């Protein structure tokens, strides 16, 4: 990082990262897209004739009725492949079985308790999905009805999603770490008719009371008529007669082959709730044909999927990453998946590396927050482990600071694996910007270039494009097949959130800038921007500077009101085990930020914290930190917080 750049844009950029890593020649030689010329050709073809481009790619989907047109676009109303019919579970399973690939491994599952492991071929997964689909149908669940899924990361979670898709039911997966309050809210908002759950789930050696949480939630969810319960941990649960049924009883005697329901291209496939900056969670709606095409195509492009790959995405199916790059994308592409049930530090902090040594995945896709944890836990868990099966690494969910990128590249990737830093959102359905590993030179911290079909622009508050190098709002100017089709039951909120501030364009809610190579750098959420003495600063850049100090494991920067400067910079810092919190270290960190970025960004307050408040998907909840920094009570929604004690601890630590 070097000195600040000019700050003429909407957001001042203070970070320049000069390192560049071309894809290894041997990787490019075998890659699906092996040169920048090939990428450019695809990009130009998609831009020149989107309907021809996507029509060509959609031809391989298992249509039961051909579509009439590729695209109807009247922003924000969109329809991809109107008139067509197909089924998403058939796109993931039946077509591979029909093509003679039923014997290929679809899924390898490793349980949290050591020694538990299962494998499913495509034919076996197909049979299980059919049984559950037939069971759900026998309960009376109909096409178009909503089913909530609240399960641990077992193969049955993937099976439940695909079984819903098979009968045309709309699934709403609720992350297994959420509270009963969150389940009830989501059941009510979606009008769910059933909940699929388990007795419990394993999390760091303890048993989560999943069924108990569902019982409390269902008491407040009048629409729910059925609860299906998988026996996972064997812990005692209460079964309510007439409402609850065991999973194994549901599938008893059900057929292992059952025809899929032909669904309209635009029939809802799933809802996934995501938190907005204020108010209740939004049920993001995705539909059938465009989503499947986007999930499959992006999985093939970005992960360069080959027949002999074993793809490990460490996400949970409770998040969009688990929808698009566990269940739908890789399975539609006919890939082999690795799923792990538990936490990366259970039963020990080297668990992931042990799994890589044993299962030999070739592709590893995880979150920057996990990478920073691995760095903090130390090399002793990694040294001596054989990670040589890996050929490609990926990150998702937040910006990766260059320090963590370099560590990932050197320690986990052995300097031989390209890293794909993938930018996307629940709303986009799949990856939008990312290096293509066989052709795009990478720069630590940049998600590089848009995928074919994605047309991003960076604009100011008036909607005008900013000058190259300046920061501004990231918008997407053209429709893409995987785009959201609305917020469940709230079209008005959808229009206001995404389509009004820059009319006719999709507002992603992130700030970004483009460098002189045209590479995109995400600068954090629009509402994470600080305004210090009239200069707008991105939280990610301050955090990156802090994390590049040898004592710092993780950092979060927020603004707090300041009489003179408008906002002061407050940072919350988690230290490496070897470092000690002290006033001298605070001074050293201030000096470090001054050196890295400049006096403007020097934190006014530094809070040392043992842990930071995070959502269960690992995102730092800056909204809560802003309250702590300002000495305010938290009034907003805290139901997505992983550890409720964190806030009280932080308040106790205030300077």
Query: From the CB of residue 101, how many other CB atoms can be counted at a distance below 10 Å?
Result: 15
- Does 320 bind ligand PRX (CB under 6 A)? Our answer is yes
197 or 426: CB nearest ligand PRX: 426
CB-CB contact of 541 with 513 (8 Å): no
369 or 426: CB nearest ligand PRX: 426
Selected binder of ligand PRX within 148, 425, 442, 514 (CB under 6 A):
425
CA–CA gap between residue 571 and residue 603 (Å, rounded):
6
- Does 525 bind ligand PRX (CB under 6 A)? Our answer is yes
CA–CA gap between residue 283 and residue 269 (Å, rounded):
12
Selected binder of ligand PRX within 10, 87, 121, 321 (CB under 6 A):
321
112 or 398: CB nearest ligand PRX: 398
The residues with which 535 forms a beta bridge, in sequence order, are 532
- Does 447 bind ligand PRX (CB under 6 A)? Our answer is yes
Q: Segment near ligand PRX (CB under 6 A), from 408-416, 420-428, 584-592, 600-608?
A: 420-428
425 or 596: CB nearest ligand PRX: 425
Where b means 16+ CB within 10 Å and e means fewer, 535-574 reads bbbbbbbbbbbbbbbebbbbbbbbbbeeeebebbbbbbbb
Query: Which residues make Cβ contacts (< 8 Å) with residue 83, sequence separation at least 6?
Result: 65, 66, 67, 68, 69, 265
Output Rg (C-alpha) for the chain, integer angstroms.
24
Q: Where would I find the H helices in 198-281?
A: 210-218, 247-251
Q: Segment near ligand PRX (CB under 6 A), from 95-103, 327-335, 504-512, 637-645?
A: 504-512
Angle at CA 444, nearest 5°, toward 440 and 449? Answer: 35
Q: Enter the tokens of residue 638.
A: 């805290």
- Does 135 bind ligand PRX (CB under 6 A)? Our answer is no
Selected binder of ligand PRX within 92, 110, 146, 522 (CB under 6 A):
522
Q: How many residues bind ligand PRX (CB under 6 A)?
A: 19
Task: Kindly state the smallest distance separating residue 292's Cβ from ligand PRX, in Å.
Answer: 17
Q: Segment near ligand PRX (CB under 6 A), from 27-35, 241-249, 503-511, 575-583?
A: 503-511
508 or 573: CB nearest ligand PRX: 508
Q: x/- contact string, 386-415, with ligand PRX (CB under 6 A)?
A: ----------xxxx----------------
Concatenating the DSSP letter of every residue in 517-583 gives: TS-EEEEEEGGGEEEETTEEEEHHHHHHHHHTSTTEEEEEEEEEEETTTEEEEEEEEEEPTT----H
Considering only residues 225 to 284 of the shown chain, the ones binding ligand PRX according to CB under 6 A are 274
Strand blocks (E) in 75-126: 77-80, 85-86, 105-110, 117-121
What are the CB-based long-range contacts (under 8 Å, 24+) for 582-586?
585/551
Q: Which of 280, 277, 296 is nearest to 288 (CA)?
A: 296
- Does 304 bind ligand PRX (CB under 6 A)? Our answer is no
Selected binder of ligand PRX within 294, 365, 408, 423 (CB under 6 A):
423
Task: Kindly state the smallest distance separating residue 11's Cβ from ligand PRX, in Å.
Answer: 13
63 or 473: CB nearest ligand PRX: 473
145 or 398: CB nearest ligand PRX: 398
Q: Segment near ligand PRX (CB under 6 A), from 119-127, 419-427, 480-488, 598-606?
A: 419-427
84 or 437: CB nearest ligand PRX: 437
272 or 333: CB nearest ligand PRX: 272
Q: Enter the tokens of residue 125.
A: 């997964």
Task: Kindly state the smallest distance separating residue 474's Cβ from ligand PRX, in Å.
Answer: 8
Residues forming contacts to ligand PRX in the complex (CB under 6 A) are 274, 320-321, 396-399, 421-426, 447, 508-510, 522, 525
């Amino acid at each position: 990082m070097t000195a600040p750049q000019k700050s003429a844009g909407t957001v001042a950029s203070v970070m320049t990262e000069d390192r560049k890593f071309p894809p290894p020649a041997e990787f490019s030689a075998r890659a699906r897209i092996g040169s920048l010329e090939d990428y450019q050709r695809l990009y130009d073809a998609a831009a020149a004739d989107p309907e021809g481009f996507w029509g060509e790619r959609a031809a391989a989907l298992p249509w039961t009725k051909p579509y009439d047109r590729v695209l109807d676009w009247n922003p924000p109303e969109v329809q991809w492949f109107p008139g067509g019919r197909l089924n998403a579970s058939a796109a993931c399973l039946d077509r591979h079985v029909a093509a003679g690939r039923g014997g290929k491994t679809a899924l390898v599952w490793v349980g949290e308790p050591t020694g538990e492991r299962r494998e499913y071929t495509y034919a076996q997964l197909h049979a299980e999905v059919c049984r559950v689909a037939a069971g759900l149908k026998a309960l009376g669940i109909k096409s178009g009805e909503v089913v909530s899924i609240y399960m641990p990361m077992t193969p049955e979670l993937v099976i439940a999603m695909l079984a819903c898709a098979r009968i045309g039911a709309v699934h709403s997966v609720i992350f297994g770490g959420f509270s009963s309050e969150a389940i009830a809210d989501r059941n009510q908002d979606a009008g769910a008719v059933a909940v699929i759950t388990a007795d419990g789930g394993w999390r760091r050696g303890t048993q989560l009371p999943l069924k108990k949480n569902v019982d409390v939630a269902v008491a407040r969810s009048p629409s729910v008529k059925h609860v299906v319960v998988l026996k996972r941990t064997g812990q005692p649960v209460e079964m309510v007669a007439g409402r609850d049924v065991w999973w194994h009883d549901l599938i008893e005697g059900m057929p292992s082959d059952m025809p899929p329901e032909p669904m309209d291209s635009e029939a809802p496939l799933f809802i996934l709730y995501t938190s907005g900056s204020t108010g209740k969670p939004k049920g993001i709606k995705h539909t059938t044909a465009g989503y499947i095409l986007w999930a499959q195509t992006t999985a093939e492009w970005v992960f360069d999927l080959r027949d002999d790959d074993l793809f490990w995405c460490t996400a949970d199916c409770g998040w969009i990453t688990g929808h698009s790059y566990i269940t739908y994308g890789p399975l539609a592409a006919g890939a082999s998946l690795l799923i792990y049930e538990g936490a990366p530090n259970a039963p020990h902090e080297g668990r992931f590396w042990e799994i890589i040594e044993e299962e030999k995945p070739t592709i590893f896709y995880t979150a920057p927050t996990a990478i920073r944890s691995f760095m903090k836990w130390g090399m002793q868990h990694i040294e001596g482990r054989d990670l040589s099966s890996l050929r490609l690494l990926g990150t998702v969910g937040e910006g990766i600071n260059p320090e963590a990128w370099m560590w990932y590249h050197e320690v986990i990737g052995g300097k031989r694996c390209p890293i794909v830093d993938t930018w996307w959102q629940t709303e986009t359905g799949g990856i939008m910007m990312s290096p293509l590993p066989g052709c795009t030179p990478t720069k630590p911290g940049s998600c590089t270039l848009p995928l074919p079909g994605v047309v991003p622009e960076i604009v100011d508050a008036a909607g005008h494009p900013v000058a190259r190098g300046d920061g501004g709002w990231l918008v997407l100017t053209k429709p893409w097949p995987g785009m959201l089709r609305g917020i469940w039951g709230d079209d008005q909120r959808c229009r206001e959130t995404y389509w009004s501030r820059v009319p006719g364009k999709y507002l992603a809610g992130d700030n970004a800038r483009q460098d002189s190579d045209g590479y995109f750098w995400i600068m954090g959420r629009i509402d994470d921007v600080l305004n210090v003495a009239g200069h707008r600063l991105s939280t990610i850049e301050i955090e990156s500077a802090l994390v590049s100090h040898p004592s710092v494991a993780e950092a979060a920067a927020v603004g707090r009101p300041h009489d003179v400067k408008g906002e002061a910079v407050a940072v919350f810092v988690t230290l490496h085990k070897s470092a000690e919190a002290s006033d001298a270290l605070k001074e050293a960190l201030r000096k470090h930020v001054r050196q890295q970025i400049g006096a403007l960004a020097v934190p006014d307050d530094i809070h040392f914290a043992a842990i930071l408040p995070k959502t269960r998907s690992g995102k730092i909840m800056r909204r809560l930190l802003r309250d702590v920094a300002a000495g305010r009570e938290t009034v907003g929604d805290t139901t997505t917080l992983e550890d409720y004690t964190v806030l009280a601890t932080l308040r106790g630590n205030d300077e």
